Amino acid sequence: MALFKRIESAIDGSIGRRRLGYALLGLVILFFLWFPNDTSQSNYVKTVFISGFFYAILSSSWALLAGIAGQFSFGHMAFMGIGAYVAGLFARDGITFAALGIALTPESISSVGAIVIGTIVAGAVGLVIGWLLLRLRSAYLALFTIAFSELFRIAMLTEYDYTGGSNGLSLRPLLQVADVDTARQIEYYLMFALLIVCLLLMYRVAHSPIGMFLRAMREDEDAASALGVNVVRYKILIFVFTSMIVGLAGAIFYSDIGSERIIPEQLEVLQMSLIIAYAVIGGMESLLGAAAGAFISRYLLEAMREVVITLPLGLTLPDGSDAFVWETGAWRFALFGLVMVFTLRYMRNGLLYPILDWFSGRDLIMQETVSIRKSDDDVAADMEDSG
């Protein structure tokens, strides 16, 4: 402990924690930029990374909505599905506005245009739900979004003629690339860029006056309203913003360069619970922590599908091998649940939040504030003694 304190003091006195954190963050970004160029990595590993980027967007946006704004919603996967399904249906069938005399054919709608439409529709649905429910408090939003998500999933499952039912809906690819390796590399960079852009946008919102209003509303809506904050307006605003973020992510993720498709199974409540778990493990009040928690958890869950246990002391199995291969199956989710329980019991701010908090130097700011308060108390005591 003394050695750690000495190292901590040396860092504070030389380069500073925040600069060190920025340097490490830069190294992490450089690693992700270099990773697809490593020829030893298979396309499967790159696909796992792409999935990790996707879930990082969903978890960080949920952290903005629930952790920072205090609006607990189970509708993220539904809005993601709205963005993807609308983009796929528009690109496949087009749309006709008979009253306006406008007809958009599939040929006139590009993949990018379909993604934009899907994002806008996700935001519009979020606006309607927010206008109806966010004037209320308590658990109404959570209960309604659970029901809405399940209704949307059932509708996509039963309307086979339009959505493909359980077979799913194929979306028009963003790019036509014949080479599989090149296609996977382009998709990797596309999802990584989308993650960076979404994090920057959400960080900007969270650290703007709007973010200050959202935190105030989370702590005490009545007090925030008394101070002049239009609570309903900002609750609807952040709900629409996060709905559009996940709608955009879903439309792009499933507009794969390959032949990916979205299926109703992706919209189940279990998938939404994983999004929440990723955010809780990383840190609900930290966008970067929630994103990192989602990526790391997603990667570990995939890596734990098959665990190779090497026997010690030269022991061998009856077949002569010195290693035991464990097909974990659902047990990996049981282990994930134990990590979740540990986090909620002992580290409620998330497993990664203390690390991010240390690099930000917030504890130093708190120490300075406490010392200032102590000195003020000492002055007051001296004044009383002199009086």
Rg of the Cα atoms in the chain: 25
- Domain with 192 in it: 46-266
Asked if 59 contacts 291 with a C-beta cutoff of 8 angstroms, the reply is yes
Kindly state whether residues 59 and 9 are assigned to the same domain: no
Whole-number Å distance between alpha carbons of 74 and 372: 43
Confidence grade of residue 337 (pLDDT, cut at 50, 70, 90): confident
Kindly state whether residues 72 and 107 are assigned to the same domain: yes
- List the Cα angle 99/104/110 in 5-degree steps: 150
Checking if the pLDDT of 198 tops 90, the result is yes
Mean pLDDT of 2-10: 55
Show which of 235, 266, 297 is a domain's final residue.
266
Q: How far, CA to CA in Å, does 32 sit from each of 3, 256, 271?
A: 32, 20, 25
Kindly state whether residues 110 and 18 are assigned to the same domain: no
* Number of independent structural domains in the chain: 3
pLDDT at residue number 153: 93
Kindly state whether residues 29 and 74 are assigned to the same domain: no
Q: What is the mean pLDDT of the chain?
A: 81
pLDDT in tens, 45-79: 888 999 999 999 999 999 999 999 989 899 999 99
Adjacent-strand bridge partners of 323: 310
Kindly state whether residues 20 and 146 are assigned to the same domain: no
Nearest CA to 352 out of 80, 54, 67 is that of 67
Q: Strand, helix or coil at 178?
A: coil
Show which of 266, 292, 319 is a domain's final residue.
266
Mean pLDDT of 199-222: 91
pLDDT at residue number 9: 60
Q: Strand, helix or coil at 154?
A: helix
Kindly state whether residues 59 and 6 are assigned to the same domain: no
Whole-number Å distance between alpha carbons of 302 and 125: 33
